[in-house]
Amino acid sequence: MTCREFADFIMDYLDGELDERLRTDFDQHLAVCANCATYLAQYRETVAAGRLAFDDENAPLPREVPDDLVRAILASRKR
């Protein structure tokens, strides 16, 4: 799996929607790629923040999360 593919599959991974083979590839990439491990951790925090924001529209987002990442996630949640 490439870093590009990893990024494409993060949402499905967090939603538990990857099939077993893809999930294995994903976990293997995660184990060897520090950049993607960091990206996943940041993504996960942002998704959690996004869910909080949906539960309570006045909930503040964590300041350390990049604005464009938040926007990308909120946009994808509207599908």
Gap between the Cα atoms of 25 and 18, Å rounded: 10
Q: Which is nearer to Zn ion, 18 or 36 (CB)?
A: 36
Q: Which is nearer to Zn ion, 39 or 74 (CB)?
A: 39
Write down the least CB distance from residue 14 to Zn ion, Å.
16
| Phi/psi of residue 15, nearest 5 degrees | -85, -5
Residues near Zn ion (CB under 5 A) are 3, 33, 36
Q: CB of 11 within 8 A of CB of 76?
A: yes
Write down the least CB distance from residue 30 to Zn ion, Å.
8
Count of beta carbons in the 10 Å neighbourhood of residue 20: 7
Per DSSP, the three-state class of 18 is coil
Q: Which is nearer to Zn ion, 1 or 73 (CB)?
A: 1
Write down the least CB distance from residue 46 to Zn ion, Å.
18
